[in-house]
Structure 1
Amino acid sequence: MDIEELLYRVGELVEDTVKRLGSSTVRFLFPRPSKVPPSSSALVRLFKKALTPHEILSLRVQLAFLAYLVVALILVFLNLPWIFLAVSLLYILYLRYLLVTYQEFILEYSAYKTFYFWLSIIAIFAYGGYFAVRKYAFSPYHFYLYILLVLAVVLSFRYYFKSRYGRDYTYGVVEEVKNDLVKVFVHDDIAANVKPGYYWVPAVPDAEPGLVVKLLVEERAFRSARPVRILEVYLESQSSQTETEPKEETE
């Protein structure tokens, strides 16, 4: 290979790399809904089971939020406000990218978006406000008042979210019927405060494997709610590996 051909190939590689970076940057800054479901081989290997698109997206959002909280805490401790602002902006853009791009695969998209977006905004202002408090506070009581203020904001948001989106039921898919019990699969449900997983509830007539059911959930103090019994059976089979909400025409 002569020097001219080598330079030509290097030029092609650089051009292709620049185009890919440009395309990725545009998609990141101006996301559009995608018909391609999210995927993550790393999460599948970590949990050692098949994950639905909703579960994969939910885990990616939760991990991004937790990572931001840890990194932001370190930046606050090191007193690096400008790096904190840059990281916060990057995190919000990434969260927006995930929620907009894969909105077709999120159950209760409006509730999900409201919960994580506003919780993230509260976290950013809570951390950011601490920089100012640490700089201008002249008494330890100022820190205590600030912590109480942040707690009041979090509790107010919790009350608003529950009053706007909260409900005492969720949906699941019947996986197994055994004697007088039914095993149902339930996705994580922010509106009902239910964690994903399999739950055993009392059996009801017509509950058969593959059918979507509506479940009553019971609130528990300082813990997630738990499905306790079946309220309704939707007589249209549906795989638990797609979604657990009944199709519109079955309601």
Structure 2
Amino acid sequence: MSFDEFLYSIGESVERIVSAVRSFIFPEPSENPPSFGFTGRFVKSNVTLHELFSLHLQLCFLLYLFLNFALVFLTRNPLWLIVVAAPYFLYLRYLLRRYGDFLLDKKPYQVFYAVLSALSFLAFFGYSLVRLYAGGIVYVYLYILSVAALVLIFRWYFKRTFGRDYTYGVVEEVKNDVIKVFVHDDIAANVKPGRYWLPAVPDAEPGRVVKVLVEDRTFRSARPVRIIEVYLPQSSQSSTEPKNATE
């Protein structure tokens, strides 16, 4: 390799690195779906891209919490929390901006993880400052109670803004008087993904999309209880709600 070719290869490498950094810091929506190879190892069966994306967000957040816990107890320097938070928030922003359109309902996931991550940083960073400068255990407890209050306020705001008492699913099997419905992960309805047996309704056939009423449970995931609408082909739909009697 000549010296000119060597310099040219270095220039190409630098250009690729700069382009990758620019794409990471200023992400644009992608038309190609993300690849979560590492996260895929945690699932035993085929899952939808939405479920895999949601699981990836959960794992990233849990890893961030674990690192914060470790830093709080292993070091008294709160600056380490900033060192961990900076790449995490950049990566979270990159994921949601570049691949957020592959989520079934992007906005609730963006708000949930952005605000919850910010509250987590505030909790750990503030705790480190209080422990370092205030010293008294009373101040620590007061700060923890303040953070808990903020979390409850956010929970109320999120449910008020994005919460709903229904979700959507796909009919997989009809068996006598019950129907097996696959429900996606739905953070707005607080429903875990899975297959649920629900009471049978007219027009519910395998492959059709249905609207499912969910029952909210305090500090637990909501539970699908019954189908309230069946979406028929050609944009028509069949409601299973009782109709008012007319004269």
Please, what TM-score do these two structures have when normalized by structure 1?
0.88
Q: Distance in 2 between matches of 1:195 and 1:230?
A: 17
- Backbone CA RMSD of aligned residues: 1.9
**AA matched with 2:84:** V
Which of 66, 72, 78 aligns to 1:76? It is 72
Q: What does residue 52 of structure 2 align with?
A: 56
Query: Deviations along 1:123-154, whole A, 9 cap, x unmatched?
Result: 11111101210122242111111111011000
Q: What does residue 111 of structure 2 align with?
A: 114
Query: Deviations along 1:34-77, whole A, 9 cap, x unmatched?
Result: 11112223333431322222112111111111111111111222
**AA matched with 2:34:** P
SS at match of 1:198: strand
**AA matched with 1:67:** L
Q: Distance in 2 between matches of 1:125 and 1:222?
A: 23
Q: Is the 8 A contact 2:78 2:129 kept in 1?
A: no
Q: Does 1:213 align with 2:210?
A: yes
Q: Does 1:34 align with 2:14?
A: no
Deviation at 1:17, TM superposition (A): 3.0
Structure of greater relative contact order (alpha carbons < 8 Å, 6+ residues apart): 1
**Alpha carbons of 1:71 and 1:183: their partners in 2 closer, same or farther (altered >3 Å)?**
same
Q: What does residue 241 of structure 1 align with?
A: none
Q: After the TM superposition, which of the residue ranges 27-36 and 82-91 deviates more from structure 2? A: 82-91
SS at match of 2:161: helix
Please, what TM-score do these two structures have when normalized by structure 2?
0.89
Q: Distance in 2 between matches of 1:119 and 1:170?
A: 23
Q: What does residue 102 of structure 1 align with?
A: 99
Pairs within 5 Å for 1:18-33 = 18-33=14-29
Q: What does residue 241 of structure 2 align with?
A: none
Number of positions where the alignment pairs a residue of Structure 1 with one of Structure 2: 236
Q: Does 1:151 align with 2:148?
A: yes
Q: Does 1:169 align with 2:166?
A: yes
Q: Is the 8 A contact 1:215 1:228 kept in 2?
A: yes
Q: Distance in 2 between matches of 1:118 and 1:60?
A: 17
Deviation at 1:7, TM superposition (A): 5.7
Q: What does residue 200 of structure 2 align with?
A: 203
Q: Is the 8 A contact 2:76 2:132 kept in 1?
A: no
**Alpha carbons of 1:32 and 1:179: their partners in 2 closer, same or farther (altered >3 Å)?**
same
SS at match of 2:173: strand
Query: Deviations along 1:60-102, whole A, 9 cap, x unmatched?
Result: 1111111111111112221232221121111111101001111
Q: Distance in 2 between matches of 1:105 and 1:16?
A: 32
Q: Is the 8 A contact 1:44 1:50 kept in 2?
A: no
SS at match of 2:206: coil
Deviation at 1:180, TM superposition (A): 1.1
Q: Distance in 2 between matches of 1:17 and 1:67?
A: 31
**Alpha carbons of 1:6 and 1:167: their partners in 2 closer, same or farther (altered >3 Å)?**
same
Q: Distance in 1 between matches of 2:77 and 2:58?
A: 24
Q: Does 1:123 align with 2:120?
A: yes
Query: Deviations along 1:178-210, whole A, 9 cap, x unmatched?
Result: 111111111111110001111111111111111
